Amino acid sequence: MTRGRKLRSRPDRRAADDRRRLTAHQRGYTRRWAHARRAYLMDPAHVLCAHCLALGDLTPATEVDHIQPHRGDRRLFWDRANWQPLCKSCHSLKTARDDGGFGNRRKDFT
């Protein structure tokens, strides 16, 4: 107890955060997104992870990343200039860094 308040455990905080978060569909990840994502990753220019490629590694891209997080901005969500191909590992690390996962401070992109 700290100053009369009970500290919530990490799983409790995470569950509360998940209840406040919009669904994937509400955030724009619809069937239209699935088709656009698939087409983007099938383009020969986007088959390799951009981060791994910069390091000289040839890793297949499996995720389409929003370079600048869209945070609900539909224009930014669909702006292909804001997309980059990443592998699952690189996408997870970047998302945690940008969104404040694993104890990182959330980045402000405004």
Residue 92 within a domain: yes
Q: What average pLDDT score do residues 67-75 get?
A: 91
Whole-angstrom distance, CA of residue 86 vs CA of residue 94: 10
Residue 12 within a domain: no
| 15 band by pLDDT with thresholds 50, 70 and 90 | low
Six token digits for residue 41 = 């990753």
Residue 93 within a domain: yes
For the chain, what is the domain count? 1
SS3 state of residue 78: helix
Is the pTM above the cut of 0.85?
Answer: no
User: Residue 40's domain spans which residues?
Assistant: 28-101
Residue 77 within a domain: yes
Q: What percent of the chain has pLDDT over 90?
A: 55
Q: What is the pLDDT of residues 19-61, one digit of tens each?
A: 666 777 777 778 999 999 999 999 999 999 999 999 999 999 9
Answer with the residue of higher pLDDT: 18 or 48. 48
Residue 85 within a domain: yes
Residue 110 within a domain: no
Residue 88 within a domain: yes
For residues 84 and 50, the answer to whether their CB atoms sit within 8 Å is yes
